[in-house]
Chain A
Amino acid sequence: MYKNIYRYDEMKRKEHMAVRENVGWYLWTHQLVEVQGADATECLDLLFTKPICSIKIGKERYTTMLNEKAEIIDDVVVFRLEENHYWVSTLFATDLIRWMEAHKENRAVEYSNITSQYHMYAVQGPKALNMVNSIVDTPVDDLKFFSFANNSIDEMPVMINRAGFTGEKCGYEIYVSAEKADEMEKILKAAGEKLGAEEVTEFQVMAWTLPTEAGFYYMRDLRHTNPLEVGLDKGIDWEKKFIGCEALNKIKEEGPSREMVGFTVEEADIYIQSRHYGGPGEAVYVNGEEVGRVYKLVYGYVKDTNIGYIMANKDALKVGDHIMIHGYEAVITEKNFL
């Protein structure tokens, strides 16, 4: 019998729960595309669904990037460093640059992949502020969510960003020069030991279990979906022109045909295929008719149960519904499992 790869794994549980109950830190370097130029704002406003021009310097915004059919091709965080100077944090820099190249036209905008210049360390959890303050030269108590500021650690210049991919209210990201990564890790390890912090080392915890518990998406979940289906329409500037806006407006008028819902499965050792590994995901049937596919299936350590997402036909599944997926009883839920 297949044994659940999460439930009985004390290492994964310990790393996960450190973030929920204390503090965890880990390498969380994303790809960075630097965008500059007189028309940088205009160009980014065309590419992204949410307004870029209204981001204040020192602030950032999470947004989606669509193709002409309104399918999400990337979800990114845009940092405004200066008036016409941005960083775009992505996991698909090659696609992003290709898309920028295709749509910049004659705009005065330059972009480059600066990923290799920086590493980023996440410090997440209720005691994250204590841990970060114990190593930075200037305390970060006043740093608001989705804001960043320059700072230093042991005379190393760093940028501290208050954000995270865990759903924790208290979470920071430390950007440091790539060649200082070894030194940074030693400092974090030493600081963490004093607070009983855990280094999160398991990819599945940082990319799947922590974010899914908070209802976040990892890029595979979003491919070939649109923001209205996955609930990422909040904050879209419907008045501005962005690539995919016509198609998205049409979908908005007609109503999306699908929606992402959450689900839990109580039984521990289950066999259900999930799309987040690649592949089609397990088909979900209601009254013999396929109504959706399992897009994500991981484990929620907080509620100690299997959790996941289903992309379902609109209104086919309601919160509280009990359904069978490949022979296992599942309950439809909201997408937040905290």
Chain B
Amino acid sequence: MSSKIDSRVPKDSGAKSLDCFAAIQSPWNKLVGYQESMHWLSRYNSTFSAACMQALRILEPEYAERAQDMCTAVYQKLYYTMQKFGKYQMDQHNIHPFCRGSFVGALVGDSGDDALMMCGRVQDFGTYRAEKELDICDWDIVGSELCRATTQSLEGGSKSWSENLRPGTQLEYHMVEARGCGDCHCRIVAESRDKYPMPPHAQWECFGPIATADQIKDTKPEDMVEESMVFRGETGYTFANGTNMEDDSNSVANLMRRSSAAAGYIFPTLSYLLRMQKVDEKTVDHVFHCVCEAAGKAAFGERVAIQAVRDWMGVPNTINDGRVMGGYLEMYFQAMGLEYTIEAFNKDEVQYVVDRNNLTVYNEKMADAFVAYWYGMTKTLVNAQWFLWEIKEDTPADKLRIRIAKKIDKFC
């Protein structure tokens, strides 16, 4: 062990007393079980995404324009992603060769919802209409533009899937209700405009009334669920769809680590805006830095929040330095399944090297946003004497080296 790293209780301490560690583990050996850690990860990524959405709102203030750009960017992203991986995914979802048209794409939304712990149920699944109702959505704090964009990612992916089948009916995906807008459920309904005509509308207006409102199957609050199928006994802890695709709870980590609102929708939109020269890079960097830093500071602005996270990680009362923030980062790295190296972990300094690409899911600018976010957290979770920053020198391009230490900066 490096002399820079204080000795720790061994990770396998007590292992003979437990069957296994299906958990993330703090530096002080506090375990958080898989199910709970995935819930935590889901909301963590959602909160970070909410901050990123605020940055996007500053960069592109007009709602309709911003929503349209998000819809355009993610439609294209999913359409082309499915051109590459669609056949494999269709096989995973048991898409039958007699199916024709884009309704089959609803299946990937369904399995994705369950893996992202957005639990609910399919209410209709047919060639001309499909309906999915969600009871929980951790992305409900991000912003309604995201709700609109999710329908377009589904529509783009579904169109791409359908091109592997005999030609058939194309569906228009609409968000009818959204928990993020105060509704009881999220509800996406896909309709064939040939069978169920509606006046034409802009792509971003894929939200609101539909032609088949009278077919909506609404679940009453007392029948709503709080967990995905993979965490429910009544479903045998197994996700199953109507075409017999089955998956276990590993699906949650698999998707959660690849897909957050920020990674899947916001940063691709940012790339699109930069490509279209609707925003300039300097302004983007500045706005994201400011917003994410503020969001990070707000996370632990209250003493009760600090105490809660310390208890959650089992931080000894004697420790109040960069290790607290370091431990919190390690919980995130573990939940995200990121490889990381501890280069320092002592009362004076904490330093990690983490896999940049898996952290950001290859989204440029996302690493900077995380660093600003974590810098802000450090200021309130520890105190203002402590800083968190990236060390770029001698760090490989695919790695992110983060240092937490005290310093004085008169321009911070």
Contact = CB atoms under 8 A, between A and B. Distances in A.
A27 B242 CA distance: 20
Given A5-B215, A181-B166, A277 B122 contact: yes
Contact of A201 (B127, B215, B234, B235): B127
Given A220-B244, A278-B110, A278-B241, A206 B98 contact: yes
A5 B13 CA distance: 58
Interface string B331-359: 00000000000000000000000000000
Interface in B166-202: 166, 168-169, 195
Contacts of A115: 97
A220 B243 contact: yes
Contact of A273 (B121, B129, B216): B121
A220 B240 contact: yes
A279 B121 contact: yes
A158 B91 CA distance: 27
Given A27-B98, A30-B96, A204-B127, A277 B121 contact: yes
B122 A203 contact: no
Contacts of B239: 278
B11 interface: no
Contact of A31 (B97, B129, B169): B97
A50 interface: no
B106 to A, nearest CB: 11
Interface residues of A, number: 36
Nearest to B121: A279
A198 B353 CA distance: 64
Nearest to A74: B244
Interface in B195-220: 195, 214-219
A201 B232 CA distance: 35
A196 interface: no
A30 B121 contact: no
B127 A203 contact: yes
Nearest to A31: B97
A204 B94 contact: no
Contacts of B59: none
A322 to B, nearest CB: 23
Contact of A27 (B100, B126, B232): B100
B96 A202 contact: no
B166 A277 contact: no
B284 interface: no
A280 interface: yes
Contacts of A278: 110, 121-122, 229, 239-242
Contact of B195 (A11, A203, A207): A11
A27 B98 CA distance: 6
Interface string A11-33: 10000000000000011111100
A91 B127 contact: no
B98 A29 contact: yes
Interface in A191-248: 201-204, 206-207, 219-220, 223-224
B121 to A, nearest CB: 5
B125 interface: yes
Given A203-B127, A204-B126, A273-B121, A92 B94 contact: yes
B265 interface: no
A3 interface: yes
A219 B96 CA distance: 11
Given A203-B127, A220-B243, A277-B121, A30 B232 contact: no
A223 B244 contact: yes
Interface in A13-68: 26-31
B242 A220 contact: yes
A275 B215 CA distance: 19
Contacts of B110: 278
B235 A279 contact: yes
A280 B231 CA distance: 12
A11 B194 CA distance: 12
B374 interface: no
Interface string B37-79: 0000000000000000000000000000000000000000000
A153 B4 CA distance: 81
24 contacts: A2-B217, A11-B128, A27-B100, A29-B97, A30-B97, A91-B94, A91-B243, A92-B244, A115-B97, A120-B98, A201-B127, A202-B127, A203-B127, A207-B96, A220-B240, A220-B244, A271-B217, A273-B121, A275-B240, A278-B229, A278-B239, A278-B240, A279-B240, A283-B234
Interface of B: 91, 94, 96-100, 103, 110, 121-129, 166, 168-169, 195, 214-219, 229, 232, 234-236, 239-244, 246
Given A5-B215, A91-B94, A91-B243, 19 more contacts: A2-B216, A2-B217, A3-B215, A27-B166, A29-B96, A30-B96, A119-B166, A201-B168, A202-B126, A204-B127, A206-B98, A219-B243, A219-B244, A220-B242, A220-B243, A220-B244, A276-B242, A278-B239, A279-B235
